[in-house]
C-alpha cells in the first residue's frame, strides 16, 4: 500500500519518488515506448498550457464540477500530449487514412473469427465452451445454454457470414432449451445469452425465434430477484426458475447485480411487459440509497439485507460494469433517465478523487484500488478488466457523438466532459502499454503499477523489466483474450479519428495471432505472457473472444457507419442494442414493493471484512494465513443475530436465509475465484 501525503495547503496527493535511474535509462529492448515518452515530455510547453488551463479554471460550478480542483491537485490530467485528432476544435483526420490497408486488416480479423468458429463447429458444436487444444466442448448445464453460439450470433451477422448464421439460428430454434435442470450464473447468462438473443433479434430484422427464446430465458431468470431485498441472488435454477444464493455465504457481486439492466429494460421495451424493467431498475435505485465513497461502492452486496458487504472498492473484477451500466442506461433510453448520468458522474468524481495514480517512469495514468476503511491508501493493483473505463469515460463525455461533428467540437465540452475525455485518453494509453511493455505484446490479467521505487526492491525479470511501468506477479501473468483494451481503442478511434488507436489495435491483434492462435483451429488462453519463449496454452477459448474481442477489432478497422455510438449502446458483452424512446409508463416508477427492514449483516454471513488479499503485492502465505485467522474470529461473531423481517410480495420466503457460517475454505474459494473472475 502506498500512502498519500499532504501538501502545504493540506491537499493530499499520491507519493511519487521518481528514481533518476529510470528517468535516464537508455532506450532498451524491454522498453519500446520510452523514446516516445521522452518525445512527449519534450512537448512540455503544450502540456503546461493545458495544465494552466486546468489550474485557473474554477474548482466548482453549477454543473457539479466540484471534483476538478481536488483532481488537479492530486493527479494532473492533461499534461500529456493530446492525440492529434482530439485537440480542441481541430478537425479530426478523415477516417481510415489508407482504406485498402484497413479493409485488409478487417478481413484478417474475420479470418481469425472463422479460424475459431470452424474449429468449434468441428469439435464442439452446441457446447457452451471450447477447448481448442484437446479439441472438445464442455457444458455448464447438462444440455448447454448456448453460450458460444448465442454469444457469437451478432458477430456472425456483422461479418456477413450468412451460412454460418442460418446454421446457428437453426440450432437455437431446434436445440436450445432452458427447460432443464441445473444452475446458471445470473449475470453471465444475462449478458451473454439474453444479451446475445436480443441483439440477434434486432440485427436479424426481428426474427421471432430469438425473442421467443429470450422471453423464456428471462422468465426463468426473474426467480433470482425473489429475495428479501430485491437484490438478486448470484444464480438461478433454470428449470424451476428459482434463485440460488452465491457461494460466498450467499453474497452477490456488485457488478453482477448491476449489470442486468440494459438487457431487462430492452426486453420490456420489446415485449411491452414492464416486469423485467421493474425488477432490474429496482436494484439500482436501491443501491443509490446506500452509502458510498463519492459514488464508489464495495464490490459485494448482501441480498438478504440489501446492504453492501465487505470493504474492497475497485473498478476491476466484481465492480467494473456497475459503473459501465450507469452511463449506458442513461444513453439507452435516449437520455430520459438523468438519474443514471448523475450516478455515473458522482462515481467518476470518486474515481478522480480516490483512485487515480501516476506511474514511474512514464507517468502513465492508472486506476488503483482502495478499501472503504482507508480510502487514502491507494493500492496500485489494476485488473485488465478496468480497461473498459477509458472508452466509457469518453462515451460519457461525447454521449456517443464523434468530435468532428460540426455541432460537437471539443471546445464545446463542459469541464467535466473535458476532464473525463482526457482521463479516457490517458487510461486507454496505459491499457495499451499493458500490452506494449511485455515481451509477447499481450497483457497480463493484473498489473501492479510502479508508482514508488521501493516497490521494485527484490523484483527481477520477468516480474519487472527495467523501464517498464508495472510489475506482474507470478499468479497474474495469464491472458484470457479479454476485450476491454480493444473495446476502449474502438471508442477512442470512433470519437477522435486518431489512427494511432487503430495501429495499437493492430499490434494487439498481431500478438494474438503470434502467441494465442492454435494451428489446428481456435485461439487459446495463455498461462503466462511474460516470456515469449515459454508459452503454455491453458486450453480454453472464452466466448467473449468471439463476442467482444474480435467484434471490437473488426469494428475498429471497419467503417464508422456501422453501429453509430449515438444510436446504439453495447451491452457489457459487446451486444449492440438500439437506443430507444421508452413509453411514459416505463419511466414512471411505482413505489418499490420489497423493502428490507433490517440493517447490518444477515444470519451467518461474515461481517464487513476484507476477504481479499489481492491488494497486497505478492500474496504470500503469511497474508493468506492472517486473513484466514481473522475470518475464523469473524465467523464466530456471526452466530444467529437476526433474521431480516420483510414484507415480501413474492411467493418465496426470505426466511430461507442461509445459515452457513463462512468457513476458511470459503475464503480460499474467494481468493482463488478472484483469479477466475470473468
Ligand atoms: C465479459 O464477459 C464482459 O466484458 C464482462 O463485463 C467482463 N468479463 C468478460 C470479458 O473480460
Residues 422-474: tens digit of each pLDDT: 999 999 999 999 999 999 999 999 999 999 999 999 999 999 999 999 999 99
Does residue 117 surpass a pLDDT of 80?
yes
Chain position carrying cell 437520455: 335
Query: Is there an atom of ligand 1 within 6 Å of 483 CB?
Result: yes
Report pLDDT digits (tens) over 498-552: 999 999 999 999 999 999 999 999 999 999 999 999 999 999 999 999 999 999 9
- Catalytic residues, by residue number, are 188, 320, 445, 484
- Is the per-residue pLDDT at 55 higher than 50? no
> Is 60 exceeded by the pLDDT of residue 81?
no
pLDDT over 90 (residue 634): no
Residues 6+ apart with CB under 8 A from 352: 67, 70, 71, 74, 75, 419, 423
Q: Which residue has a Cα nearest atom 1 of ligand 1?
A: 573
pLDDT confidence of 409, banded at 50, 70, 90?
confident
CB 550 within 8 Å of CB 483: no
Quote the pLDDT of residue 628.
32
**Ligand 1 centroid – CA 529 distance (Å):** 20
pLDDT at site 465: 94
Checking if the pLDDT of 640 tops 50, the result is no
Q: Which of 79, 54, 48, 50 is nearest to 69 (CA)?
A: 54
Nearest atom, ligand 1, residue 678 CA: 8
Instruction: Choose the weakest-confidence range: 269-278, 400-409, 667-676.
Output: 667-676
Question: Atom of ligand 1 at shortest distance to CA of 543?
Answer: 2
At 287, is the secondary structure helix, strand, or coil?
helix
Q: 567, 579 in Cβ contact below 8 A?
A: yes
Ligand 1 atom with the shortest distance to the CA of 188:
2
415 pLDDT higher than 60 = yes
Is the shortest distance between the CB of 321 and ligand 1 below 6 Å? yes
> Helices marked H in 468-583 — which ranges?
484-496, 499-515, 543-544, 550-557
CA 323–ligand 1 middle distance (angstroms): 13
Residue 316 above 70 pLDDT?
Answer: yes
* CA angle, residues 517, 522, 525, in degrees to nearest 5: 65
| CA of residue 644 to ligand 1 center, whole Å | 33
**Is 90 exceeded by the pLDDT of residue 97?**
no
Q: 293 - beta bridge partners?
A: 296
Q: What is the pLDDT of residues 472-483, one digit of tens each?
A: 999 999 999 999
| Cα of 572 from ligand 1 centre, angstroms | 6
Quick one: which H or E segment has residue 184?
strand 183-185
- 572 close to ligand 1 (CB < 6 Angstrom): yes
Residue bearing the bigger pLDDT, 540 or 640: 540
- C-beta 151 within 6 A of ligand 1: no
pLDDT at 118: 99
Nearest ligand 1 atom to the CA of 321 is: 6
pLDDT at 604 over 70: no
Q: What is the average per-residue pLDDT within 124-138?
A: 98
pLDDT over 80 at 35, yes or no? no
Q: Which atom of ligand 1 is nearest to the CA of 320?
A: 6
Residue 114, pLDDT score: 99
Ligand 1 in contact with 573 (CB < 6 A)? Answer: yes
Q: How confident is the model at residue 632 (pLDDT cuts 50, 70, 90)?
A: very low
pLDDT score of 548: 99
Query: Of 253-262, 392-401, 581-590, where does mean pLDDT reach its minimum?
Result: 581-590
C-alpha cell at 510: 498481431
Residue 572 marked in a binding site: yes
- Is residue 609 over pLDDT 50? no
Average pLDDT of the residues in 640-665? 28
Q: Are strands 370-371 and 312-313 parallel, antiparallel or unpaired?
A: antiparallel
Ligand 1 near 544 CB (within 6 A): yes
Question: Is it the case that residue 104 has pLDDT exceeding 60?
Answer: yes
Distance (angstroms) between ligand 1 centre and the Cα of 213 equals 22
pLDDT in tens, 330-383: 999 999 999 999 999 999 999 999 999 999 999 999 999 999 999 999 999 999
Kind and range of the H or E element at 219?
A: helix 208-221
Ligand 1 contact, 383 CB (< 6 A): no
- Which residue owns the Cα nearest ligand 1 atom 3? 573
Q: What is the pLDDT of residues 226-236, one digit of tens each?
A: 999 999 999 99
Query: Can you give the C-alpha Rg of the chain in angstroms?
Result: 24
Mean pLDDT score of the chain, rounded to an integer? Answer: 80
Instruction: Decide: 482 in ligand 1 pocket, CB within 6 A.
Output: yes
- The finding on whether 445 has its CB within 6 A of some atom of ligand 1 is no
Nearest residue CA, atom 10 of ligand 1? 482
pLDDT band at 589 (very low <50, low <70, confident <90, very high): confident
**Choice between 615 and 414, residue whose per-residue pLDDT is larger:** 414
User: Which residues in 122-138 are b (16+ Cβ under 10 Å) and which e?
Assistant: ebbebbbbbbbeebebe
Confidence (pTM)? 0.79
Ligand 1 centroid distance, CA of 49 (Å): 38
Amino acid at each position: 500500500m502506498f500512502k498519500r501525503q499532504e501538501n502545504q495547503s493540506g491537499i493530499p496527493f499520491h507519493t511519487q519518488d521518481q528514481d533518476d535511474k529510470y528517468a535516464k535509462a537508455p532506450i532498451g529492448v524491454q522498453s519500446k515506448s520510452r523514446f516516445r515518452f521522452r518525445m512527449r515530455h519534450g512537448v512540455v510547453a503544450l502540456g503546461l498550457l493545458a495544465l494552466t488551463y486546468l489550474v485557473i479554471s474554477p474548482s466548482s460550478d453549477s454543473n457539479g464540477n466540484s471534483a476538478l480542483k481536488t483532481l488537479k491537485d492530486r493527479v494532473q490530467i492533461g499534461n500529456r500530449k493530446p492525440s492529434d485528432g482530439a485537440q480542441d476544435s481541430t478537425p479530426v483526420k478523415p477516417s481510415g487514412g489508407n482504406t485498402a490497408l484497413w479493409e485488409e486488416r478487417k478481413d484478417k480479423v474475420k479470418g481469425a473469427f472463422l479460424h475459431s468458429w470452424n474449429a468449434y463447429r468441428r469439435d464442439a458444436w452446441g457446447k457452451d465452451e471450447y477447448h481448442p487444444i484437446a479439441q472438445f466442448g464442455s457444458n455448464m448445464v447438462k444440455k448447454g445454454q448456448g453460450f458460444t453460439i448465442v454469444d457469437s450470433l451478432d458477430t456472425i451477422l456483422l461479418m456477413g457470414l450468412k451460412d454460418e448464421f442460418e446454421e446457428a439460428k437453426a440450432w437455437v430454434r431446434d436445440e436450445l432449451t432452458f427447460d432443464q435442470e441445473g444452475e446458471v450464473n445470473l449475470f453471465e447468462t444475462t449478458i451473454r445469452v439474453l444479451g446475445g438473443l436480443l441483439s440477434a433479434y434486432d440485427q436479424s430484422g426481428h426474427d421471432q425465434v430469438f425473442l421467443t427464446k429470450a422471453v423464456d430465458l428471462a422468465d426463468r431468470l426473474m426467480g433470482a430477484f425473489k429475495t428479501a431485498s430485491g437484490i438478486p441472488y448470484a444464480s438461478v435454477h433454470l428449470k424451476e426458475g428459482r434463485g440460488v444464493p452465491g457461494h460466498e455465504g450467499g453474497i452477490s457481486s456488485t457488478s453482477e447485480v448491476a449489470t442486468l439492466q440494459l438487457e431487462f429494460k430492452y426486453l420490456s421495451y420489446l415485449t411491452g411487459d414492464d416486469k423485467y424493467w421493474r425488477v432490474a431498475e429496482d436494484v439500482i435505485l436501491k443501491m443509490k440509497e446506500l452509502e458510498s465513497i463519492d459514488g464508489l461502492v464495495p464490490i459485494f452486496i448482501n441480498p438478504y439485507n440489501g446492504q453492501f458487504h465487505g470493504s474492497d472498492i475497485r473498478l476491476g473484477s466484481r465492480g467494473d460494469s456497475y459503473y459501465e451500466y450507469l452511463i449506458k442506461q442513461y444513453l439507452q433510453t435516449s437520455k430520459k433517465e438523468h438519474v443514471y448520468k448523475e450516478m455515473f458522474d458522482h462515481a467518476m468524481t470518486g474515481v478522480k478523487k480516490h483512485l487515480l495514480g501516476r506511474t514511474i517512469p512514464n507517468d502513465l495514468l492508472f486506476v488503483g484500488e482502495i478499501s472503504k476503511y482507508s480510502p487514502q491508501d491507494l493500492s496500485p493493483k489494476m485488473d485488465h478488466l478496468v480497461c473498459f473505463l477509458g472508452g466509457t469515460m469518453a462515451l460519457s463525455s461525447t454521449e456517443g457523438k464523434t468530435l468532428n461533428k460540426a455541432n460537437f467540437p471539443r471546445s464545446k465540452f463542459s469541464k467535466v466532459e473535458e476532464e473525463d475525455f482526457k482521463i479516457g485518453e490517458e487510461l486507454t494509453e496505459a491499457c495499451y502499454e499493458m500490452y506494449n511493455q511485455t515481451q509477447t505484446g499481450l497483457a497480463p490479467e493484473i498489473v501492479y503499477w510502479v508508482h514508488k521505487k521501493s516497490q521494485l526492491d527484490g523484483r527481477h525479470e520477468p516480474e519487472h523489466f527495467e523501464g517498464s511501468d508495472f510489475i506482474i506477479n507470478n499468479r497474474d501473468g495469464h491472458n484470457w483474450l479479454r476485450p476491454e483494451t480493444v473495446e476502449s481503442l474502438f471508442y477512442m478511434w470512433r470519437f477522435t479519428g486518431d489512427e494511432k488507436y487503430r495501429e495499437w489495435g493492430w499490434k494487439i491483434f498481431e500478438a494474438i495471432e503470434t502467441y494465442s492462435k492454435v494451428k489446428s483451429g481456435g485461439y487459446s488462453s495463455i498461462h503466462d505472457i511474460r516470456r515469449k519463449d515459454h508459452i503454455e496454452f491453458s486450453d480454453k477459448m472464452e466466448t467473449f473472444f468471439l463476442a467482444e474481442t474480435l467484434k471490437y477489432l473488426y469494428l475498429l478497422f471497419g467503417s464508422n457507419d456501422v453501429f453509430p455510438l449515438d444510436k446504439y449502446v453495447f451491452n457489457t458483452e459487446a451486444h449492440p442494442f438500439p437506443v430507444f424512446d421508452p413509453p411514459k409508463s416505463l419511466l414512471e416508477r411505482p413505489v418499490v414493493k420489497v423493502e428490507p427492514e433490517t440493517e447490518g449483516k444477515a444470519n451467518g454471513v461474515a461481517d464487513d471484512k476484507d476477504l481479499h488479499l489481492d491488494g497486497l503485492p505478492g500474496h504470500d502465505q503469511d497474508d493468506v494465513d492472517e486473513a484466514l485467522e481473522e475470518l475464523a474470529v469473524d465467523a464466530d461473531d456471526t452466530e444467529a443475530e437476526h433474521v431480516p423481517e420483510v414484507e415480501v410480495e413474492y411467493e418465496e420466503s426470505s426466511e430461507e436465509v442461509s445459515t452457513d457460517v463462512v468457513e476458511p475454505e470459503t475464503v480460499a474459494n474467494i481468493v482463488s475465484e478472484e483469479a477466475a473472475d470473468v
